[in-house]
Structures are given as C-alpha cells and as structure tokens.
Amino acid sequence: MLEKTFDPKTVEPRLYERWEASGAFSPEHALARNPDAEGFSIVIPPPNVTGSLHIGHALNNTLQDVLTRFERMRGKAALWLPGTDHAGIATQMVVERQLAAEGTNISRRDMGREAFVERVWKWKAESSGTIQGQLRRLGASCDWSRERFTLDEGLSAAVRKVFVTLHKQGLIYRDKRLVNWDPQFQTAISDLEVQQKEVDGAYWHFAYPLEDGSGEVVVATTRPETMLGDTAVAVHPDDERYQAMVGKMLAHPITGRRIPVVADDYADPEKGSGAVKITPAHDFNDFQVGKRHGLEMINVMDAWARMAGPIPAEYAGMDRFDARKAIVAKMEELGLLRGIEKVRHMVPHGDRSGVVIEPYLTDQWYVDAKTLAQPAIKAVEDGRTVFEPRNWDKTYFEWMRNIEPWCVSRQLWWGHRIPAWYGPDGAVFVEESEEAARAAARARYGDDRPLTQDEDVLDTWFSSALWPFSTMGWPDETEDLKRFYPTHTLVTGFDIIFFWVARMMMTGLHFMGEVPFRRVFINALVRDASGQKMSKSKGNVMDPLGLIDQYGADALRFTLTAMSGQARDIKLSEQRIEGYRNFGTKLWNAARFCQMNECVRDETFDPAQAKETLNRWIRGETVKTARAVTQGLEACAFDDVANALYRFIWNVFCDWYLELAKPILNGDDEAAKAETRATAAWVLDQCLKLLHPVMPFLTEELWDKTASFGRARDGMLITADWPALPDAWVDPEAEAEIGWLIALIGEVRSIRSEMNVPPSARAPLAVVGAQAATRERLASHRDLILTMGRLSDLREAEAAPAGAVPFVVGEATGALSIAEFIDFAAERARLTKEIGALNGEIDKAARKLSNPDFVARAPEEVIEENRERLAEAEAAKAKLEQALGRLEAVA
RNA sequence: GGGCGGAUAGCUCAGCGGUAGAGCGUCUCGUUUACACCGAGAGGGUCGGGGGUUCGAUCCCCUCUCCGCCCACCA
C-alpha cells in the first residue's frame, strides 16, 4: 500500500541517481533506440562557475528541463547542454575582496599576475560544483557528460580562433578613443556595464574671459574638475548672440591656456547660455566635437581618476571630487562663478563596482558590431529566429539598429588573454598561438625579435557569445554540431538580451552561417509576493533550495511553470507553492485509490473499445488534455500547460471520474467493473506521462510504484512515450451525458447548501427533479448517483408528483424559518463582505509599512496616517467579527 | 526624449467583441475506507477615468491619470 503522502526528501535523490545512471540524460540513449531520431537541443545560459542557484535560475532551468523532458519523451535525441561561465570581472572581484579581507595587505598587483590567476583557479576549484549539485536537486536532466566551462581549453581555442578571424577580417581592431573607465577596477567596461543613476548635483555657471578683454562667455558644467582639460568653447553657428565671437580666443581662467570659440551644431542655443565648454578627453559628445574641429585632447586624470597631466601643480594628484570643490572655490575667488543651480541628474556608475565611471582616453580592442549586427537583424526580421513573447523582438531591434562598437578588452587578469603580440616597434601580431605570432613576426622582421603579449583579457561576454557552437566542439566539425546546431530554443531573461542573446546571434551567423537558436523564450523576472525585486539587502530573497527542502522540487517546479505565461513578472508566494504541493499529494492519493480498488494496468485493454458512458467520457477528456498539454509545450505556453494538467487531474479525474466510478467499482456488474478498473489505470498512466516534464520526481515514483502493484514496466517514465491519442476517442454522446449529470448534481448540492439542509438529514428531500423526462434521464444514471454521498436522497425523486415546481425543499431543519434564514444570510453576507474589504485595507497598509522604499521616501505624517488606518481597520474588523459571531450564535 | 508592459474579486492573476473567471484568503457545512496537504457550498467585481466604433465593448480605436521596466540624453 502506498504511503499517505509522497516524501520528496528521500525519493528525489534516489530517482535522480537512477536517471543519471541510466544514461537517459544523453541523446545517445534515444539514438541507440532510433538512430534516425530527430535532434533537439538547448544550451544552458551558463551560470557563474562560483555561483549558487537563485530563484531566477530555478525558473529558467525548470522551463528548460520541462522542454527537454517533453521532447525526450517524444522520442527526439534531446540534448540539454550544461556548463558554467568564468564571469571575469565578477569572479576577479570576489577573489580580490577575499585578499582584502585576509588583512595581509597583499593586493593582486603585489602578488603578480601568475600567482593571482592561480589563486582564482583555486577559488574556482573550491566553489565550483555547487550550482551543478543544485541543478540536480531541481531535477535538471542535463547531459553532464557534455558539461563545459568557458575557460576550458576547447572553448579557449574557439575564442582565439574567433578573435583572430575577426581581426583578419577587419571586424576587430584596436583604437584610441574614449571608453567607460572604472577607476576602482582599473578597467574599461562596455556601455552595457554602465548604469545611469540619478544623484544630486549642480550646474556651476562659469565665465570664461575673452583673451582681448572685450567680454566673456558663460558656460555651465556639472563637472568643474574637467575644465582643466577644456580645449574650446562651442556655440551654435546660427546663434546671433555669439556670431562676433566665433574664432576668437578665450583665456582659460585657471590654466591660462588659449582656447578658441568654435561654431558647432552640438551647442544648443536653448540650453543655458547657449555656449558649452568642450573637454574632448573627458566627455563623449565633446570628443566628437573635438574630432570635428581638430582640437587637442588633454587628459587630466590618471587611471585612479586623480587629477594628473598638464595641470597646475596645486591640483596634481587630487581626487576628482576634491578637485571639483577646489576648482569651484578657485573660480569664486577669481570672481568668475556666475551661479550655482542645484539639479538631480543622471550619472554613470559601474554596475559591479558602483563607483562613478569616467570617460577615459585609452587604447582598447573593439568589435565592429555594426557590421555583424546586420545579418542578425535580418534573421529576426525573416523569422529564422523568433522571440517569445513576440514583443521582445522590438527591444532586440531597437538595440541592434543603434549598436555601437563593442569594447572587448578588459584590464583584468581572470579571463581569455587577448591573442595579440607586440614587436619591439609596436607592430601587432594577432594569431591563435605564440608560435604563430612568432612566425608572423619572423616573416616581417626577417629574424626573431622579442614579442610581448597584450596584457588584457576579453570581456567575459565574448566567450559567452560563442556558447551555442563552442560547446559543441567548434571549430572542429563535430557530430554534435551537425546534429544539434542550431539549437531549438534558448530560454533566458530579458536582462541579457543585449549582453548575450544579440551577441550570440552575431557570432553564430558569422561563424556558423546559421542562427544559433530558432526560438528565444524570454522568461519572466521573479519577484517576491508583494512585487518587490528580490535582493539580499531587502532580505526578501527566496532560496530555491530551502523551498525544495520544504515542499519538494516538483511543487516548486510546478509553481514556476504555472506562473510563466506572457507576464514579465512573477510574484512568487510560498502559499502558492504549498497549493501545488497539495496538488501532487492529490494525484498521489488518486493512485492510492486505484491501488485499493485493484485498478491495475491491463495491456490488452483498448480504450477505443470502452463501453461504459463514464469510461468513454474520461477517455475523451484525457485526449483533450493531452492535446492541450502538447500544444502548450510546443508554444511555450507554460501557464496553459500547468492549468490544463491541474484542472484535468484534480477537477476532472479525481473530483468526478473517480467519484462516479465508485458505484461501479463497488457494484456487481463484473464486466463494467473490469472495464472501469482498466480505464482508471490507463488514465492514471496518461496523467503521469503528461505531468512528468513538470513534476518528474513524483510521477517517476508513481510510475515505479504502480508497476509494483500491477505489471512490470518496460522502463522508466523519463523515457516513456509521450501520449499521442486519437481525436476520435472523444465521444460527444458520453460528453453530453456526463456533462448533464455533473451540472445537475452541482445544482442539487448548491440548493441543499443554500437551504441549509444538513447532510445528515436524509429523509427531508433535498431536491426533486420534477419533469418526467428529467426523472427518466436521472433514473438511467441512478447507479452513478446513488452513492454520491448524501445524494441518495435522489431516490426519492421518482416518487415526486409530476409537474411539481423544479425544486422542493423539505421540512425546516432548525429554529429559523425560510424568511428568517434569508435575512440571516443577507446580514451575514454583508458582514463578511465588509470584513473582506477591511482585510484588504489591512494588507495594503501593512505592506506599505513594511516596504523599505516607502518608509524611506514617504514623509513621517504619511507613514503615521498608514499606521492609524491599519489600527482603525483592525479595530473595525474585530468589531464586525464579533457581530458575525453573535449572529451565528442566534442562528 | 524614445520604447515596452501593466491597471479585472480582499490578494495574485487569466480572459480580450456576445449572461464577468481561477487559485489563494474569508465565511458556512461536513470525521463519507484515496486524500483534512480533503470534500460540498456561499459571499465578494459600474473589468482605472472620459470619449468613440458597434445591435452589443472588460475586450477594438482615441484620450487622460496612475504604476513598473528598458534605452538615450541633459553643457
């Protein structure tokens, strides 16, 4: 006999081991059975190798697993390729922090490159494996034999090959221009790694005197410290106020440098004074203006963002923000400060370091993204790759059509070192290996010269961009590439459409000549129950492992699947997970019922031959469910899939089929009994199969257990055949008949309850179907109805006088008359409604008060108001509840 | 400034031309040999405001208000 409930804790690890040992996770398993099996592949968005599973991963990987398991059951050679990312800047940062925390005062620079990188590898060795273990807990059916890491030798070779090829094609080049410089990490970062944050600042209005003393120009700036690098002031060519000044020279108030007034469209006559100072080495717009006018580019900061270069000695070495104050003070002292205007404005920050980013003039490597983007744009326009939900392609297009060169070099040590070597004369040799670079150098110089390799590494997203083909063995022409590229579906979050999806499209098309995936499913962002983004600082993170411990992996998986529709956000509440845990238990108990009633699988049983109305009906319902689930999975309509399964298993199979089957199973008609047993067992099997992709553990366990009290199975559920049921099995006649019965019984129950007929009151009639035709129809289903709990009352139906009113209530059952009962019901309804509304108030106020953002932003009196409202609502609710209690007591 | 979402029951959401739905919560009733992680039932909504199209609008169009996100820019 089955236990009363399913115990995930003991079962899950056992089953996972069995799956893994069976080889079912590898596509070879399917190919062994059918060498012509169609390929199906998904590559995992590689998590940080040293990371651990958060709820977003749980969602993302659940959906990938659902798809993989589904296609595997459909007989495809299904590959879900796992792996991890070295996560350059993030990982290096962690290790640097560790160094700092050790208190030995040894920085990475003190250690030297080799020792530091070794240290990072050590940390990687210690902390890797965590997330793989956690994915196993989730039930992820990845092919671990193909696991990859972005710094593996194979993937590194792919990186070098791509870099060298693009360089030879002129699509990677070295250039001196402004980059986003992170002064804390001492590295360039890409546009995408910059986050604009609104901060308090000011416009300082400064007067720049004309060299000849004939006047002045007023300019405004939010960054006074950069004025040391000014090399011009620009005005709009059509701005009449400044016509006479164009071409004249100004005397820089602090450096004394002579700088010209230039005419340029960039200056907006509407803004400020209409004149703008130009600092080409410290502002992206000014850089362009500087190029147009051939202005000198004066760098006045060093890599730490301290003042440096050709500047007055008093500022040298000063921190940029101290310099800002000093410059403002100086201008005031000179009598040239014309005003200060407080503003809140956007300032760029590093997404990892959190410090203010400086536009900084350096040499970096760039990818010509504009060129690579064209085929990638076309592929989505042509539908060779589709986004799901569709609208995300707009986001993709928007970015791709306005793409800027991608800065791929990073002044870090953890990552793929750039395969470029420099000769003594500065000539660069970009080759896949040092030997090849030497050979190239020899060809140029005629003899061996010392070469030094570029110190920089590549942006971590450079190797991720190759993931769909590098993991399959490229540049070799492997079997895997032939069978599994392009991949079928990419499941990922919208936050990395630019970072990752777009770049995979570019490299995939360029190097493979084909899109890397046919479909991109953008999964939602998981938020907490009140819609807040989960974050450690808010303390509202939900740990997927904890949830798995408590409710089982299946319950978590079902919840995440059920909430993955077209929505962009998922508000995850623990209550919901509990509800789906209960759903699993419900199915478990249905199996238990089948076991108790000897509903054993009968291989000779053909559902097409079922005779009983009830069995013909459930057969059709099963077909419809299989169809809905299959279509839902094909379309990534995960919420529909979960809902169809939930409804069918709970509300159709358990609530109606098994209930209506009871009288047959307890009756004397042996043929009907045998048919019903076989049908019940068959439907249960279909449920297990259809539910398996979403709830693999519970279904696999039941598959095993039902075999133990029935006949042996051919194999595990994970490789069982997906139900492909003929539409002809839907029987409209049976559907109509059982549908009618269900509706009638519902009505009977509802009226009994409304009239307060106690279930124990058997003799007083519940209901009488009055029309002769109705009675006749009812009589034909008497066997099904009689044991429907208290509905045995229906026996009396036949005795009712013909032509009576449709429903008749029997004798009064308590102190209340019908009229009193109605009044009572009305009053009770009113009170419960009010209590409901107050509950809402209480919820709302309580949430506001516990929301850190609200508390931080709202004025004290608003917070107080909410506190009062909460107290008032609670008091009112208590009062109403008392009144309700009194009312009940009277009744 | 550009773009994308959203506003439907107390809460979380589905529906998207034809009598307003689900889950949870609330309330009532129920120890029925599958299941209290259960069963039966009830209450609860001018489908954000205003216009328009239509025989008919929660749904389509316009507009306003409020919330969320992304991109860009602000001397």
Q: Could you tell me the end-to-end alpha-carbon distance of chain A, in angstroms, rounded to an integer?
A: 45
Instruction: Write down the H helix ranges in A34-76.
Output: 55-73
**Strand A77-81 and strand A39-43: pairing?**
parallel
pLDDT at A62: 94
> Burial level of A539, CB count in 10 A (0-12/13-18/19+)?
exposed
Predicted local confidence at residue A529, as pLDDT: 58
Q: Which of residues 717-746 of A touch strand B (CB under 7 A)?
A: 746
Q: Is A837 buried (19+), middle (13-18) or exposed (0-12) by CB count in 10 A? A: middle
Q: What is the mean pLDDT of residues A654-662?
A: 87
Q: Residue range A367-373: average pLDDT?
A: 93
Mean predicted confidence (pLDDT) in A602-607: 88
The answer to whether the C-beta of A851 is closer than 7 A to strand B is no
Average pLDDT over residues A825-836: 52
Query: A828 CA to B49 C1', in Å?
Result: 33
Q: Is the CB of A530 under 7 A from strand B?
A: yes
Whether A735 shows a pLDDT value over 50: the answer reads yes
Per-residue model confidence (pLDDT) at position A542: 76
Q: What are the backbone angles phi and psi of residue A670, rounded to the nearest 5°?
A: -65, -40
Determine what percent of chain A is predicted with pLDDT higher than 90. 38
Q: How far is the CA of A554 from the C1' of B17 (A)?
A: 39
Give the separation between CA A176 and CA A167, rounded to whole angstroms.
Answer: 16
Comparing A162-171, A248-257, A695-704, A849-858, which segment has the lowest mean pLDDT? A849-858
Q: Is the CB of A272 under 7 A from strand B?
A: yes
pLDDT (0 to 100) of residue A395: 85
What pLDDT was estimated at residue A799?
37
Nucleotide nearest to A563 (CA to C1'): B13
| Banded pLDDT at A215 (limits 50, 70, 90) | confident
pLDDT in tens, A475-523: 999 999 999 999 999 999 888 888 899 999 999 999 999 999 999 998 8
H or E element at residue A239: none
Does the pLDDT of residue A843 top 80, yes or no? no
State the pLDDT at residue A379: 93
The rounded percent of chain A whose pLDDT value lies above 70 is: 81
Nearest nucleotide (CA of A198 to C1'): B74
Q: Is the pLDDT of residue A631 over 50?
A: yes
3-class DSSP state for residue A80?
strand
* Residue A885, pLDDT score: 58
Range with the lowest mean pLDDT among A263-277, A332-346, A359-373, A753-767? Answer: A753-767
Binned at pLDDT 50, 70 and 90, residue A797 comes out as: very low
Of the candidates A329, A323, A287, the residue with the CA atom closest to the CA atom of residue A306: A323
pLDDT at A508: 95
> Alpha-carbon distance A255 to A334, whole Å?
13
Specify the 3-state DSSP secondary structure of A441. Answer: helix
**Averaged pLDDT, A225-238:** 88
Nucleotides of B under 7 A from a protein CB: 2-5, 10-15, 23-45, 68-75
User: Which nucleotide is nearest to A347 if distance is taken from CA to C1'?
Assistant: B74
CB-strand contact A582/B, under 7 Å: yes
Taking 90 as the threshold, does the pLDDT of residue A199 lie above it? no
A550 touches strand B (CB under 7 A): no
Ranking A170-174, A366-370, A761-765, A868-872 by mean pLDDT, the lowest is A761-765
In this predicted structure, what is the pLDDT of residue A750? 58
- How much is the pLDDT for A821? 37
- A871 CB-to-strand B distance under 7 Å: no
Name residue, tokens 């592929």: A379
Range in A45-49, A236-240, A380-384, A743-747 with the lowest mean pLDDT: A743-747
Least confident of A191-200, A432-441, A538-547, A672-681: A538-547
In this complex, the answer to whether residue A567 has its CB under 7 A from any atom of chain B, a nucleic strand, is: yes
Residue of higher predicted confidence among A883 and A191: A191
* A597, closest nucleotide (Cα–C1'): B34
Asked if the model's pLDDT at residue A817 lies above 60, the reply is no
Q: For A782, left (φ over 0), alpha (ψ -120 to 50), or beta?
A: alpha
Could you tell me the pLDDT band of residue A836, with boundaries at 50, 70 and 90?
A: low
Any strand B atom closer than 7 Å to A241 CB: no
Q: Is the CB of A382 under 7 A from strand B?
A: no
Give the closest nucleotide to A659 (alpha carbon vs C1'): B34
Q: Tell me, what's the pLDDT at A588? A: 94
A393 vs A855, more confident: A393
A766 pLDDT exceeds 60? no
Q: Is ipTM strictly over 0.95?
A: no
Instruction: Look at A864 and A4; give whichever has higher pLDDT.
Output: A4
Distance A840 CA to B24 C1' (A): 14
pLDDT at A754: 54
Q: What is the pLDDT of residue A792?
A: 30
Q: For residue A786, what are its two tokens?
A: 């009689």
Closest residue by C-alpha to C1' distance, nucleotide B5: A568
The answer to whether residues A407 and A368 touch, using CB atoms and an 8 Å cutoff, is no
Asked whether residue A103 carries a pLDDT value surpassing 50, the answer given is yes
Question: For residue A346, what are the contacts with CB-CB under 8 A and spacing of at least 6?
Answer: A196, A197, A198, A199
Residue A45 has a pLDDT of 95
Average pLDDT taken over every residue of chain A: 82
CA dist., res. A687 & res. A653, Å (int)? 9
C-alpha–C-alpha distance, residues A756 and A759, integer Å: 9
Q: Is the CB of A277 under 7 A from strand B?
A: yes
Residue nearest to nucleotide B12 (CA to C1'): A571
- pLDDT score recorded for residue A19: 96
A764 touches strand B (CB under 7 A): no
Q: Is the CB of A749 under 7 A from strand B?
A: yes
A398 touches strand B (CB under 7 A): yes
Backbone angles phi, psi at A813, to 5 degrees: -110, 0
Q: Does any strand B atom come closer than 7 Å to the Cβ of A4?
A: yes
User: Model pTM?
Assistant: 0.83
What is the mean predicted confidence (pLDDT) over A271-300? 87
Length A582 CA → B36 C1' (Å): 11
Q: Is pLDDT above 50 for A688?
A: yes
Q: Which residue has tokens 């179907």? A: A769
Judge whether residue A571 contacts strand B, using its CB and a 7 Å cut-off. Answer: yes
Q: What is A542-590 written as a DSSP string? A: --HHHHHHHH-HHHHHHHHHHT-SS-SEEE--HHHHHHHHHHHHHHHHH
In this prediction, residues A217-242 reach a mean pLDDT of 87
Among all strands, which nt has the closest C1' to A6 (CA)? B37
pLDDT by residue (tens digit) across A329-351? 888 888 888 888 888 788 888 88
State the Rg of chain A over Cα. Answer: 36
pLDDT at A269: 79
Residue partners of A803: CB distance under 8 A and separation at least 6 = A770
Q: Point out the least confidently predicted range of A60-64, A243-247, A407-411, A627-631.
A: A243-247
Q: Which of A81-90, A136-145, A182-191, A850-859 has the lowest mean pLDDT?
A: A850-859
Indicate the range of A286-295, A401-410, A791-800, A849-858 predicted with least confidence. Answer: A791-800
Q: Which of A8-17, A275-284, A691-700 has the lowest mean pLDDT?
A: A275-284
Gap from A566 CA to B56 C1', Å: 29
